[in-house]
């Protein structure tokens, strides 16, 4: 898998090391274990997916983590992206709207002795104001536009990585908050489940866009 990630443009050695260390098979349902290391998204139940390894690595690389940051993750899902982040930053605050997924992810992460993660079950489109501000924000579901609540919880010169779009494919964007004007970069096309919540899509969008 690491060789494939290098070929596809992942150059951050810390990210590559984390991808090699975290056992992806622990986050994949038993019926999909044979495909755990394929470069594909896989279903994890509740209408959600675990992102393909390349997208996990790319989004993490785009965060430009040095090792001390407080990171807000929107969409805990399987916990795989959470585990990668936890190895590369100081602290992860992860928010998941589906309690079943949040609890399953917590159990797996704790079984791997990952302790620098705080878990919340709530509307991820509203962020986690009680823990703000954040040095980095990563959103693993697509919003129609940058949620205002998330943007407001990002520190000055902080970075957010988020898929944006009203149809598939969407566009993965990085937003760097700056006093003289934000830097917004289109990274690549992508395909994510919708971000459901008051600051993004209504619940009905998840039903119609699965």
- DSSP string covering 53-66: HHHHHHHHHHH---
Round to whole Å and give the CA distance between 126 and 67. Answer: 25
Q: Where are the alpha helices (DSSP H) in the chain?
A: 2-7, 13-21, 53-63, 80-88, 99-111, 148-152, 203-209
- Compute the half-sphere exposure of residue 108: CA atoms within 13 Å on the CB side of its CA: 23
The residue behind tokens 């916990």 is 79
Looking at the chain, how many residues does it have?
210
Q: Establish whether 122 is a catalytic residue.
A: no
Q: How far is CA 20 from CA 3, 37, 58, 111, 167, in A?
A: 10, 11, 14, 18, 33
Cis peptide before 169, with omega less than 30 degrees from 0? yes
Of 51, 78, 104, 125, which is the active-site residue? 51
Enter the tokens of residue 88: 């590369």
Q: Catalytic positions, please? A: 51
């Amino acid at each position: 898998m690491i060789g494939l990630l290098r070929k596809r443009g992942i150059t951050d050695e810390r990210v590559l090391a984390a991808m090699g260390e975290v056992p992806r098979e622990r986050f994949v349902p038993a019926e999909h274990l044979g495909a755990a290391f394929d470069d594909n998204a896989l279903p994890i139940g509740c209408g959600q997916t675990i992102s393909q390894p390349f997208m996990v690595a790319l989004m993490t690389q785009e965060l430009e983590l040095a090792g001390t940051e407080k990171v807000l993750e929107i969409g805990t899902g399987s916990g795989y992206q959470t585990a990668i982040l936890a190895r590369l930053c100081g602290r992860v605050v992860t928010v998941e709207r589906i309690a079943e997924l949040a609890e399953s992810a917590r159990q797996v992460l704790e079984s791997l002795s990952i302790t620098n993660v705080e878990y919340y079950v709530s509307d991820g489109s509203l962020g986690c104001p009680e823990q703000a501000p954040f040095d980095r924000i990563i959103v693993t579901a697509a919003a129609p536009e940058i949620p205002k609540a998330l943007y407001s919880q990002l520190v000055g010169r902080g970075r957010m990585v988020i898929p944006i779009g009203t149809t598939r494919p969407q566009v993965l964007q990085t937003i760097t908050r700056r006093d003289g004007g934000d830097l917004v970069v289109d990274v690549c096309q992508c395909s994510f489940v919708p971000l459901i919540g008051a600051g993004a899509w209504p619940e009905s969008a998840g039903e119609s866009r699965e």
